[in-house]
Chains A and B, each alone.
Chain A
Amino acid sequence: MNVIETEGLTRVFTGRPDPKNKLRRRRHVAVDRLDLTVEAGESVGYIGANGAGKSTTIKMLVGILVPTSGAVTTVGLHPLKQRRALARRIGVVFGQRSQLWWDLPVRESFSILSAIHSLSAADERSRTAELVDTLEMGGFLGTPVRQLSLGQRMRAEVAAALLHRPELLILDEPTIGLDVLSKQRLREFLVTQRREHGTTLLLTTHDMGDVERLCDRILVVDHGRLAFDGTLDGLGRTVGARRELVVDLATASPDLVDVAGAEHVRSESDGLRQRLAFDPQRTTAARVLAAVSERAEVVDLSITEPDIEDVVREIYRATRR
């Protein structure tokens, strides 16, 4: 079954009248004829620049915004006509807005949400216990939400969205502002949650670490249109992302500009460290290394993966051309 299905989904915002021409209102196409299909159990990263249309898409998926045209079904339901039924089957975490009651202890927010989702007393107990355990929230269950650190609050928000065991979890910028350790913990939890409950994940993020660790499919949206749909590797291939071989040499050497299949990027410390970029489709790291070794003695080496943010930027550039 498809968890998310959109066909020609479009959202146009009409703003205030144009100051130059009073009769015309400014039109902004936030989402432009978007065709999406997400199957049950998938984990999808929905990425794009600010204002690319990510949040607008999510708002249409959950029934907050009405599409200008096109069709959308989420877990088989019509988000506008069946909003309340849909709310029982999906969980949403908006990084910037809270589901919790700021003046109440975390525990009480959970029990109110259990009432809101009509969980039975036994279900409420077991589900809360499970989430408190896996998200390590025992230490701050009795703390009012307003006193929580951002990392603690985010864990509580995720738990709040998962209390009613939704089939689809939508996360809008879940790791924004979190420190490395909190991010790591949250990602691990989400991976486990998906493995154990088969929860479908859709997340928007600016953090490429989220995408690399959580998503097996990536959708890149640009100006409301789908610019890319595929795996992380595929994204790299599409824009020809290159790997970089960094070699530390025994002695200062001239720039290695004549290595076949590789391009010299730059040298540091008078040529003690040199960076060479190569396309993994055309050559291999071993061949490049062999060629380098013929010219100088290699003491140490490392290979860096393509920076996804650059990759996404590259996609924008390619689609705008």
Chain B
Amino acid sequence: MAEPERNRRLSHWQALVDTRGRFRAYRAVLASRGRSQASHRASFRMDLVGAVLVGTIEFTELWVLYSATDQIGGFTLAQIMLVFGLSDLAFSLADLAAGHCDNLPVYVRAGTLDVFFLRPQPLLAQLMTSDLSLRRIGRCLVGATALTVGLVINDIDWSVGTVGLLLLALVCGFVIFTAQFVTAAGLQFFLVNGAEMTNAFVYGGRYAATQPASVWPRGLLVVFAGVFPVAFAAYLPVSTLLGMPGLAGLPTWLGWCAPVAALWAVVVAGLCWRWGLRHYRGAGG
């Protein structure tokens, strides 16, 4: 074996057994993003406050709605608070991790995406770790607060099952919303100025997820419980948690099916991303 070849293989093995391991590249990028944002303290604080304000206003909107009626779709304000908190927290976490997938058209235009091709990591992993918007933590705080209050004021039969269901809903909600961002990114390879269109279901989906799905017309139900299964992020698990009657005559335990919905969302996202990438590389599609 030639000397440089052997050296390369050696260094490759060293890299593999290196305790800092395979995630070293992603960690290096993310850490630098964090440092860069921390260096602009004033703007970071303002972003944080802004995010909290927007979240609070969105909750106030719900509260105003409930001042006119006791129930919407069979949910009281206290109960909807759980739905709002759970979905908002899951969405904000997904936004923190993958929200910058929205920037794909910018990356394409600036040629940053071509640079990703020149690095030995998978493209989607590079895109997702290309940024970390810490200011979105503000939004997570709103969601977490609403969720905590919701858990306190509702009459919940605490058990291992309920805790498990909550955690499951949070994780699956996070996965579902992250998948929505990736789906949108994949579609944006085709739609040159398609951000408006993809925002409609990413952010529309977030809004839908904070509401009781029982009030939706059938069309919306198909979209947000089936194709983009955001109903599984909060509404259905909360229905199960509170023992509410199921959606459209479906069983109450449907909330436990969140992992199936998450898996579906991931498959759709993966296909859209691959399809979009094929199109970008000019392989048809």
Contacts and interface: CB of A to CB of B under 8 A. Distances in A.
B11 A123 contact: yes
Interface stretch (B21-29, B149-157, B233-241): B21-29
Nearest to A101: B32
B280 to A, nearest CB: 9
B249 interface: no
Contact of A87 (B4, B119, B281, B282): B119
Contact of A116 (B12, B36, B120, B282): B120
Contact of B114 (A66, A84, A97, A101): A97
A87 B114 CA distance: 12
B14 A111 contact: no
A65 B11 contact: no
Interface in B98-124: 110-112, 114-115, 117-122
Contacts of B112: 97
A281 to B, nearest CB: 43
Interface in A56-101: 59, 62-66, 68, 80, 83-85, 87-90, 92, 94, 96-99, 101
B248 interface: no
Given A66-B282, A104-B36, A108-B32, A117 B118 contact: no
A87 B120 contact: yes
Contact of A83 (B14, B117, B278, B282): B117
Given A66-B281, A118-B24, A123-B11, A94 B32 contact: no
A120 B281 contact: no
Contact of A115 (B11, B24, B282): B24
Given A13-B282, A66-B283, A104-B36, A116 B25 contact: yes
Contacts of A59: 114
Contacts of B122: 84
The secondary-structure label for the interface of chain A is: loop
B115 A98 contact: yes
B15 interface: yes
A64 B117 contact: yes
Contacts of B121: 84, 116
Nearest to A198: B4
Nearest to B4: A167
B115 A62 contact: no
Interface of B: 4, 8, 11-12, 14-15, 18, 24-25, 27-29, 32, 36, 110-112, 114-115, 117-122, 278, 281-283
Contacts of B4: 167
A309 interface: no
A131 B186 CA distance: 38
A112 interface: yes
A64 B120 contact: no
In the complex, which of the residues A64, A85, A89, A90 has the most CB atoms of chain B within 10 Å of its own CB atom? A64
Contacts of A167: 4
Contacts of A117: 119-120
B36 A103 contact: yes
Given A87-B118, A99-B118, A118 B18 contact: yes
Contacts of A83: 117
Given A62-B117, A63-B117, A96-B111, A118 B25 contact: yes
A63 B29 CA distance: 23
A64 B281 contact: yes
Given A65-B282, A116-B120, A120-B11, 11 more contacts: A13-B282, A64-B114, A84-B120, A88-B8, A94-B114, A115-B27, A115-B28, A116-B28, A116-B121, A118-B24, A167-B4
Contacts of A183: none
A54 interface: no
Nearest to A13: B282
B42 to A, nearest CB: 16
Nearest to B40: A103
Contacts of A115: 24-25, 27-29
B29 A118 contact: no
List the 4 closest pairs (A to B, CB-CB), nearest first: A97-B111, A118-B15, A115-B28, A66-B283
B118 A62 contact: yes
A11 interface: yes
9 contacts: A87-B118, A87-B120, A94-B111, A97-B115, A99-B118, A101-B36, A116-B121, A118-B12, A167-B4
